Structure 1
């Protein structure tokens, strides 16, 4: 996700999640690291993978994480928070 600009304390036009950014689905306990790409379960956009995880049975959700375009690994708390955003593309 982009950070808001601090210039004049006004958010920039890209302050929300970039729903179309490439992302990959991983097991939350796969260890990440250099071979992380080999452990990818699924590729898609951030929106597609958030939708996928949010619609899994509740007891399975904590077993997954989303790696967003190489800049951040989203835990289940972050994934579910994104799925509840008013701008989330259902």
Structure 2
């Protein structure tokens, strides 16, 4: 999984597009985040796997979950559904 900063060893490593293999985890939307947030994850894997998992939930339950991606990006329902709808989504 991609997990290094975009300036690793001062080499240009940032790639365009969605990095489907970035590390990600599913959290309850209202888990409070905080200091021990990493321990509150319900499931972890690649971004593609986590998007597929949330999309497997019934539509009325999807809003209760978020995906936290490497790099401190928090994806909520609308962004998760938009990623799942992309032509390049591997799931």
Equivalent residue for 2:85? Answer: 84
Structure 1 unmatched runs, 5+: 1-12
Paired residues, number? 78
Runs of at least 4 residues of structure 1 off by over 3 A? none
Q: Give the Å deviation of 1:79.
A: 0.5
Deviation per CA, 1:57-87: give whole Å up to 9, x if none: 0111000000001420100111000000011
Counterpart mapping for 1:6-85 below 5 A: 14-85=15-86
Taking structure 2 as the reference length, what is the TM-score of the superposition? 0.80
Structure 2 unmatched runs, 5+: 1-13
* Aligned-partner Cα distance in 2 for 1:78–1:47: 13
* Aligned-partner Cα distance in 1 for 2:43–2:15: 26
Q: What SS does the aligned partner of 1:81 have? A: helix
Taking structure 1 as the reference length, what is the TM-score of the superposition? 0.81
